[in-house]
Amino acid sequence: MKNYIVDFPIMGDERGSLISLESLKNIPFEVKRVYYMYDLKTSLPRGFHAHKNLQQILVCVNGFCKVVLDDGIEKVEVELDSPDKGLLLENVIWREMHSFSDDCVLMVLASDYYDENDYLRDYEEFIEYVQTKKNQHNNSFFKHEKAIVETDQIGEGTTIWAFSHILSGAKIGENCNLNDFTFIENDVVVGNNVTVKSGVHLWDGITIEDNVFIGPSTVFTNDLRPRSKRYPAEFERTVIKKFASIGANVTILAGSTIGEYAMIGAGSVVTKDIPPRTQWYGNPAVFKGYVCECGKKLDDNLYCFSCKESHKDKISLLNNTGLEEQ
């Protein structure tokens, strides 16, 4: 089962503690409803259902209770005993809340309004639902028998080749091709129609937008001052924008943004943000001109001889027209 405990940062001083919960920041969905339970009885457990779509976070803001989670394969029990701890209940997870303390106040943040049709209140119906969902999901993308795929967020038509490993939090779009020996951590988003050639590792903090090409053995980093066993509060965010291409064996320093349609030459080391529609290479990579959507370099008049098209208008709209070719 995925990591379901969310730790909320406590802001505190001599007056006491304060926790702030924000949609799409420390709560991974937009909150549409908040409800809470109190005057709960130790001997009267609650729940005994799952939701088809609803996502929720449970926070025991006072006292304590226990929650059993069941994804149809595995069951775990979690104790909620602190207001700085949230329990993420994703859809299609059977839950049973019990052992409430007398002073327990259980607050729930929900991704949608109350809808009885979203409930699966019968355990057998729940198991059947899990099985159907699993079959639908497994048939919608291809996974080589020697790949390990822990996430269930893989878009239709994506292919994942041998010896790849994708962790449970990763989100992969539709029609992607992830070649052999790809490793993808949790806090990674890959858009649609992305090609990742062999030997590429995508670490926490990396976003790859739609239609990006990543050449073989490209090296990403996510920490500018790495030390063994010491982790930054947050990893640097690296973004590869739509339609950008990264040549073979490129190294990209943490925190860089590579603009739309940009083209990075093989073996380069990218040390800074790369503007859209530009070509860069070398170590460190330097500006070498503008590129067409087809990938060819434009001439001095910003014309593509291959597509027989001028790009003057598109490029004059960018804020990077003063770049000097090196």
Q: Three-state SS for 239?
A: strand
| Separation of alpha carbons 71 and 126, rounded Å | 9
DSSP code of residue 296? P
Q: Does 56 bind ligand T46 (CB under 6 A)?
A: yes
Output the DSSP codes for 97-127: EE---TT-EEEEEESS---GGGEE-SHHHHH
Structure tokens that stand for 54 in this block: 């609803």
Q: Three-state SS for 315?
A: helix
Structure tokens that stand for 155 in this block: 């878009």
The least distance separating ligand T46 from the CB of residue 58, rounded to whole angstroms, comes to 6
Where does this chain touch ligand T46 (CB under 6 A) — which range of 9-17, 19-27, 33-41, 290-298?
Answer: 33-41
Catalytic one among 49, 98, 144, 165? 49
Contacting residue, 7, 35, 273, 294, with ligand T46 by CB under 6 A: 35
The least distance separating ligand T46 from the CB of residue 69, rounded to whole angstroms, comes to 11
CB-wise, 46 or 133, nearer to ligand T46?
A: 46
Helices (H), the chain: 123-138, 312-316
Binding to ligand T46 (CB under 6 A) within 134-193 occurs at none
Active site residue 165: no
CB 243 within 8 A of CB 258: no
Q: Does 98 bind ligand T46 (CB under 6 A)?
A: no
Q: Which of 272, 242, 271 is nearest to 259 (CA)?
A: 242
CB-wise, 120 or 270, nearer to ligand T46?
A: 120
The least distance separating ligand T46 from the CB of residue 87, rounded to whole angstroms, comes to 9
CB-wise, 35 or 305, nearer to ligand T46?
A: 35
Size of the site for ligand T46 (CB under 6 A): 10
| Separation of alpha carbons 230 and 246, rounded Å | 30
Where does this chain touch ligand T46 (CB under 6 A) — which range of 13-21, 32-40, 148-156, 270-278?
Answer: 32-40
Alpha-carbon dihedral sign for residues 275, 257, 241, 162:
positive
Where does this chain touch ligand T46 (CB under 6 A) — which range of 29-37, 221-229, 263-271, 273-281?
Answer: 29-37
CB-wise, 99 or 217, nearer to ligand T46?
A: 99
Q: Does 36 bind ligand T46 (CB under 6 A)?
A: no
Q: Does 95 bind ligand T46 (CB under 6 A)?
A: yes
Q: Does 114 bind ligand T46 (CB under 6 A)?
A: yes
Cα 79 vs. chain centroid, distance in angstroms? Answer: 27
Residues with active-site annotation: 49
Please give the residue ranges that form the binding site for ligand T46 (CB under 6 A).
33, 35, 37, 46-47, 56, 58, 95, 108, 114
